[in-house]
A = this chain, B = another copy of it.
Amino acid sequence: MSVRYPLADLNTLPQDLKDKILEVQEKAGFVPNVFLALARRPAEWRAFFAYHDALMDPESVGRTSHLTKGDREMIVTTTSAANQCLYCVVAHGALLRIYEKKPLVADQVAVNYRKADITPRQRAMLDFAMKICERAAETDDTDFEALHAHGFDDEDIWDIAAITAFFGLSNRIASFSNMPPNPEFFLMGRVPREKKS
């Protein structure tokens, strides 16, 4: 497909975008393409990352959640695979491997989460996420009961649903705009990091 929406040039961006992007680069060692792909429209960029952080890093907005970082990335990887979103499966699969410290889990949930080596609690979480992803209009009280049985409360359930919904947005934008995942993501978390000496 043609490149229609080229990555933004960092130097031309508003200062707040630039600052955040440099901060990410410092931490990750590279700039994930989503930061430059969305920057053409700064207002949407700000809203996107504010929403992202509110859901994926709840402590950053003064909220706690019973979902772990690994749980959240597992939701993203699984539902993004259902939506066939190359960028999100590759980028969030990398984070999932790292947070869960399980180098095989991302490929497992991306291909078939039902056969993945995860806990029954995570399986229930993903069953619900997939229902939100594919047929949210059919949700009812029985979905909540199934999750309560695994210790999730209604705020956790909101988290699962909102993360799925937010990345459903992200998946659609990445797909139509042909956003490529950075090559760095493909290998992250697959091999043990060497200890810094």
Number of chain A residues whose Cβ lies closer than 8 Å to a Cβ of chain B: 69
Contact for A154 among B5, B84, B110, B173, CB less than 8 A:
B5
Task: Contact check, B85 vs A137: say whether CB atoms are below 8 A apart.
Answer: yes
Q: Does A103 contact B (CB under 8 A)?
A: yes
Given contacts A44-B54, A51-B51, A54-B43, contact A161 B190 (CB under 8 A): no
Interface SS, A side: helix
A186 surroundings in chain B (CB, below 8 A): 103-104, 107, 190
Q: Does A187 contact B (CB under 8 A)?
A: yes
Contact for A141 among B1, B41, B46, B116, CB less than 8 A:
B1
Q: Does A24 contact B (CB under 8 A)?
A: no
Q: Does A27 contact B (CB under 8 A)?
A: no
Closest residue of chain B to A89, judged by CB?
Answer: B111
- Which residues A20-79 have CB closer than 8 A to chain B? 41-44, 46-48, 50-51, 53-55, 61-63
Besides A41-B158, A114-B140, A187-B190, 13 other CB < 8 A contacts? A2-B141, A4-B154, A43-B62, A43-B63, A84-B111, A85-B112, A86-B111, A133-B172, A157-B176, A161-B173, A168-B168, A186-B190, A190-B190
